[in-house]
Structure 1
Amino acid sequence: MKAFIIKSAIVEETLEVAYRDGSIEDNRFASEYSSVKLYTPYNVVVASAQGKKFDELESIVMKHARTFGVSINVELPEQNFYKGSVSFNNPVDYDDALEIIKKICSELKSKGFGCESIFIIRRSRVKHIVEEYGVEAIEDRWLNELYVYSYAIHAGQLLSTGLNYVFMDKHVDISEDIVEKIQYMLMNQAKARRFNPVYIGPWIVVLKNDAACSLYHEIAHLLEADEPLKIGLNTRIGDGIRIYEDPFYPGPLRRLFDDEVYPAWRRTLIEDGFVVDYLRSRLCVDESKAGNGRGLFTKPKSMYHQLVVKPGDWSLDEAENEFKKIIVVENIVKAETYNGLIRIFPEIAVLKDKERVQPVKSLEVAVPIAQLNKSIIGLGEEIYTRFSYEKNLPIYDVAPLTIIEMRVRS
């Protein structure tokens, strides 16, 4: 088989209802797109448009292949494709969505906090056709996303925070839990002091919630086969750590195939602390397999859908007893990999020692990528999840409490 073409028909429907301090918004969108990808051994030529225009798009990609000298006559190895139809998740009832945002904001307002709450119900139906292989694959997926933002004025300063939640197959009343978390985060902001520069230096840091997920998200960026900068295979990054790209984990992005119609399989990225594989699309298979190609309108990117880190056996209490002083980081403003460092910027951190518990702000925690093996001390029993978007694509992280030595600076 020489070059082959994947034709994709995409239908998207979005319902967004929002409550913003008494104002109500109800917005609905629907769109239909088509995409044609021409695959050769080393390249992909992509064209897309609104509506169903396969013939027009196919002529465009063939024209571009000729113009740019893309060879379509080189033999390709036999390709593997998923065949069949699958659906994931169910939509939350519209009236339930209204009740959720109303209840959350009512409870936050009763406590003196401002509130914006947004519920988004998305449906995406994608049909792929690969005529050269007689393939037809269909995925129909619903995503139910809740976003809550809250704020307060304290001592002349604006305090603000937010969180999100993804509903799976049924409505669950999580309003009380969300209100408690937001109140806790805002109260910590009110109590927080600026981190004293005297304490700059190495600390034992306990990463929870978004902070734990963000650490492994940044590590995963360094495990993408199509990136020029990667952690080398067989590199040790921590004792006993296991990280998977798991399409079968019961999260909102479980799947049976990727955007290249490659059948889903559970890829081990890090086994017993050693890097053993990378996230891969069809264009960067090497001696492994594809399965992580993402992007319907672009050259497929090697990215995960669901990143799962196996938990350990530590608890927060054990960490507090083991070390004289620790910094606990939960919610973050951002995380990034820059100049050889994984850097995490907390919204608020909590400094704990034998004598005090003090929320602190205006700090950054960082760990050199080259020192991950020496820095990660242990993983906890408790696990956290995070749903977010990367390059406009949904991703889902599952990560445990992580105890790690990091450099803290203001």
Structure 2
Amino acid sequence: MTASPFTETTATARYRAFAELSATGPVQRVTLFTGVPVWLVTGYAEVRQVLSSPDVVKSYTEVPHADHMPDELVSATNRHMLSANPPDHTRLRRLVSAVFTRKRVAALEPRIADISAGLLDELAAAGDGPVDFIAGYSYPLPITVITELIGVPGLQRDEFREQSTIMINGAVQTAEAYVAAASSMVAMVRQMIEQKRATPTGDLLSDLIAVRDGGDKLTDDELTSMVVLLLVAGHETTVNLITNSAYALLKHPEQLAKLQADRDLIPAAVEEFLRYDAPVMVTIPAKTNAPVRVGDVIIPAGDVVVPVLPTANRDPNRFESPAELDITREGSPNLAFGHGIHHCLGAPLARLEARIAIGHLLDRFPKLRLAEPDEEPTRFPSLLLNGMSSLPVHTN
């Protein structure tokens, strides 16, 4: 059986395919569209189990097109926390967490609000015609935030976006395109690092370079890999979160009305958006280093395991009416940012950006509506991301 949800290009088709896949059980042996045989784990309890199992491990060499990449390029892009296991993971997370703190994220709130307001001004100036919500708002907001946080606000964004899109969707790219994008990204990041080493400026990148834990620090490959991860994952997932949230609201006017009437619901609404239409489809694939029982299935040692987040978040064994959007929903936490030791370090920042982005959007454009309400936006094929290509809207 070939797993097709990842290549479906509308939300309806994608979630229907996920539901059909999950209907026969929470653990499935399938061949991905990439040709790789894997165990897809789709149930909520089962996904939590494998994400916290010490016998399901990461490998920094298990990356797209690794067989076409020089070893030094693999090391320069994948020696980060998401590809590491304890004790390396513990060490890397401790070092990065020392500078990427919740206090630092919380201090960004006024600046995120300013960026949001400026982008909404530009959308308002576009007039009565339809505008692309992604190009005008949900992409520039997180890319501005993450580049300012890291300390590279002058980043060549068009070039970076092209490289980033190729890298994070490596499974659907050619080896030639992927290697070229990764090489360009690494060259750009290394140049940034050298500039910050010469002239530290108190930003996140300067602090990552300087961070110490006793005699320990990030190696050059770990530093480069971490910055690549922050730049790419630090904006791509938030683009999808903001876009999918806005689309969900515009397709559910009764939920939009609730949020318009009570802005205190925004934090709970963001959690529901994360559950209802998760911005990420799977965690980075891992392998079993011993036989692992998941539900009624024993996954042999050495097999690839892929936890699927949208199906876990719509598991009827965990959520009542899981296919319905309910911004007042209570109960089990969503798994949109993963679980266990690899739970996303940037989750607080993504949530903060989403809360500000949605709140400001509703304040500024109470008549916001879809420009093509009867047409589903195109979703791009991807193993990792659950995002749209564009979202045309009218602001008044």
Higher RCO (CA 8 Å, separation ≥ 6 residues): 2
Higher helix fraction (1 or 2): 2
**Both structures adopt the same fold (TM-score exceeding 0.5):** no
User: Relative to total residues, which structure has the larger strand share, 1 or 2?
Assistant: 1
State the TM-score, normalized to the length of structure 2: 0.23
Greater Rg, structure 1 or structure 2? 1
